[in-house]
Amino acid sequence: MSPQIHILPDHVANQIAAGEVVERPASVVKELVENALDAGATRIDVSLRNGGKTEIRVADDGCGMDREDALLALDRHATSKIRQAEDLARISSLGFRGEALPSIAAVSRFSLETASEDGVGTAVRAASGRVQAADEIARRRGTTVTAMGLFGNVPARAKFLRSAAAETRAASEAVILLALCNLQVGFSLRSNDRELLSLGPATLRQRIAQIWGEEEASSLIDLDGPEGEHRVAGLIQRPDEARTGRRRFTFANGRPFVDRSLGHMVDEAYRTTVVPGIRPDYFLFLNLPAQSMDVNVHPAKSEIRFRDRERVERMLVEAVRRRLARISSTPPLDRAPEPTGVARATTTAGDGAPALVREGSAPDQFALFMAEAGGDDEPSEAAEIVPLAARLRPELWQLHDSYILAATRRGLLIIDQHSAHERVLYEETMRRFRESGGEAQRLLFPLTLTLSPSEYSAAEELAQMLGKVGFEIEPFGERTVIVRSSPNPHEHFDAERCFRDMIHELADGSPLVDAARNQHERIAKSLACKGAIKAGQSLSPEEMADLFDRLFATELPGHDVHGRPTIVRLTLEELARRFGRT
């Protein structure tokens, strides 16, 4: 019996490896651009023909290679990125497997021109994985790789390629992804001699404007997590600008990766600041110790495994939540696009990921208001929270019995009294649940209410939790309950109307409560919505001051429980512009 197991020829093994590394032209572009970045390139030019199916060309001004390295680079598992197994635990380069060039050469007509310094370089030509020639050439420092006729020798693979337009889009997305986390590098992309991208070195906000325009860049606010070994920086979308979440990018130590669960954590951080179903854009840069993550878990290096995933998720949620609490995340009355030259995430020379630029470390909402009003924006971390009345509450006016106006040193805040009180009631109710209840008002004349079958069932099921927020209820005959006490959130509170509206919503559902995570949140949202001060309700100066103080003591003063803004800002600059002073 003849042997059944044998060693595959190198060119066949390379074609098998190419199946993991080279899925489509965009895969080739990604691998070659990553190699150029690892070579220290400051300029990378990509050109395609027929979506990359006919030709892919990537040129850079990086460190280049000498003749020996140029030939060795086409051998499988040959790499300059790692030297021993221990290096896999602290990978800092983008390409490191040593399979990209031989895999690309295995499925195309391949040429490599390179030089480590201006003058004499090397040109290597290969086809189907076999080197055909290696010649000396004159060229400048850097490397140019060309792959022609992709999958020409494996037609079964070529059949799975999409249209030229679709492949061009995929290649463009690959370039954009790497351009976002390598801000110090210039990029260009041409398709059939037509320029699609031309990006110079930029800040993060500038690069976003270069790619998607000023409107997208101006809808983003800076994210600046706390300093330390584990940090997060970048840009997230202002809640009032959030729509479909088409642009959600995550990077770790300058490496782009895909992680849908981290996207869910960002959505969690936006809870009650956007309408359910809205998915804000974000550009997040995690800066982590290299040994705290494993980047060697996917053939295309598109996934990362974190050794302490819970810590990463917590850091991310806290950073986003803290930023959304800033008054500047609320919409201005008429915002002009923010100058793209002012970006808080700048590029470090080390790993290419944005470094953190602090805007202040305010520990409480009072300090945040102080910053907006022009006061001290960097109080000590031990600053004691004191009522605004004792520090800097501005003069307040009520407009149309619906809005509260507050002048600041930088303009005017317009506060929706109903939305503001919703936020206050929601956070106070959630705190009651955490602290096992709170005070309630005993009703002089208990309410006897007849409910529908579904409402009565909900009242029975939720009686204990409703008691924690102030509604003490007990059954009284068929489908009838007695309400003996209620919360007292404001002087104009109608306990019967609020209870009826709440129990109806909790029994039959609504978009507001259906989006809640649990019964505690359902009750808190419903009470906040139904029990808050209404629009059209006149407030005394004392009531306005109390609402103002309580709003700025919440975690997210700028947003009600529906995700709508509670505060709109009118800046002095906008006033001056409208009066023709600028």
222-232 pLDDT, tens digit per residue, is 998 777 788 99
Residue 92: φ, ψ to 5°: -115, -10
Model pLDDT, residue 44: 97
Query: pLDDT by residue (tens digit) across 204-250?
Result: 999 999 999 998 999 999 998 777 788 999 999 998 888 776 899 99
Question: Quick check: 156 pLDDT over 70?
Answer: yes
| Number of domains into which the chain is organized | 3
**How many beta carbons lie within 10 A of that of residue 290, not counting itself?**
13
Phi, psi of 565 (to 5 degrees): -70, 145
Closest CA to 355 of 248, 266, 222, 187: 222
Reference 451, options 484, 480, 485, 494; nearest CA is 480
Q: With 50 as the cut, is the pLDDT of residue 183 above it? A: yes
Question: Cα separation of 202 and 489, whole Å?
Answer: 51
Domain end point (choices 321, 355, 389): 355
- Assigned domain for 190 exists: yes
Tell whether 458 and 342 lie within a shared domain. Answer: no
Q: What angle do CA 438, 382, 368 make, to 5 degrees?
A: 75
Please indicate, yes or no, whether residues 25 and 171 belong to a single structural domain of this protein. yes
pLDDT score for 392: 55
Is residue 556 in some structural domain?
A: no
Tokens of 378: 């960097």
Give pLDDT, residue 542.
Answer: 93
pLDDT of residue 271: 87
pLDDT of residue 439: 77
Q: What is the DSSP letter of 288?
A: -
148 with 46, same domain? yes
d(CA 186, CA 202): 8
Confidence of residue 20 (pLDDT cuts 50, 70, 90): low
Going by pLDDT thresholds of 50, 70 and 90, the confidence category of residue 516 is confident
Assign 78 a pLDDT band (cuts: 50, 70, 90). Answer: low
How high is the pLDDT of residue 355? 34
Let me know: does 413 contact 574? Beta carbons within 8 Å: no
Residue 476 to residue 176: CA distance in whole angstroms: 66
Position with higher pLDDT, 132 vs 439: 132
Start-to-end CA span in the chain (Å)? 92
Tokens of 198: 């031309």
Q: Is 118 helix (H, G, I), strand (E, B) or coil?
A: coil
Confidence of residue 123 (pLDDT cuts 50, 70, 90): very high
- At residue 15, does pLDDT exceed 60? no
Helices assigned H by DSSP within 22-142: 25-38, 67-72, 100-106
Q: Which residues contact 287 (CB under 8 A, 6 or more apart)?
A: 230, 231, 232, 233, 253, 351, 353, 355, 356
Q: Which helix (H) or strand (E) holds 91?
A: none
Cα 364 from chain centroid (whole Å): 23
188 and 225 share one domain: no
Question: Given a cut of 90, is residue 415 above it in pLDDT?
Answer: yes
Q: Which one is predicted more confidently, 34 or 371?
A: 34
Q: What angle (nearest 5°) sits at the alpha carbon of residue 205, between those of residues 204 and 209?
A: 115
Q: Which residue has the tokens 């800040």?
A: 203
Q: Is residue 253 part of a domain?
A: yes
pLDDT score, position 182:
96
Would you say 20 and 98 are in contact if contact means Cβ atoms under 8 Å apart?
A: no
Note the pLDDT of residue 276. Answer: 78
Q: Looking at residue 194, what is its pLDDT?
A: 94
By residue count, the chain amounts to 582
Same domain? 152 vs 211: no
Query: Strand 186-191 to strand 43-49: parallel, antiparallel, or no bridges (unpaired)?
Result: parallel
Is position 365 within any domain? Answer: no
pLDDT at 361 over 80: no
Task: Specify whether the CB–CB gap between 75 and 129 falls below 8 A.
Answer: no
CA distance 106 to 8: 14
Whole-number average pLDDT of the chain:
83
Could you say which of 194, 229, 248 is where a domain stops?
194
What single-letter amino acid sits at 248? R
In a domain, 560, yes or no: no
Domain boundary among 194, 225, 240: 194
Instruction: Find residue 255's DSSP bridge partners.
Output: 252
Instruction: Spell out the residues 6+ positions from residue 143 whose beta carbon is closer than 8 angstroms to its own.
Output: 35, 36, 39, 59, 60, 62, 64, 65, 112, 113, 114, 115
Residue 104, in any domain of the structure: yes
For 293-314, the pLDDT digits (tens) are: 887 666 666 788 898 999 999 9
* pLDDT digit string, tens, across residues 529-577: 999 999 999 999 999 999 999 998 898 898 999 988 899 988 888 889 8
Sequence-distant (6+) residues with CB within 8 A of 477 are: none
CATH number for position 159: 3.30.565.10
Range of the domain at 35: 10-194
Are 101 and 69 spatial neighbours (Cβ–Cβ below 8 Å)? no
Contacts (Cβ under 8 Å, ≥6 apart) of 536 = 400, 401, 402
What does the pLDDT average to over 2-18? 57
Single pTM value for the model: 0.75
Claim to verify: residue 34 and residue 174 sit in the same structural domain: yes
Higher-scoring residue by pLDDT: 326, 5: 326
Whether residue 57 is contained in a domain is answered as yes
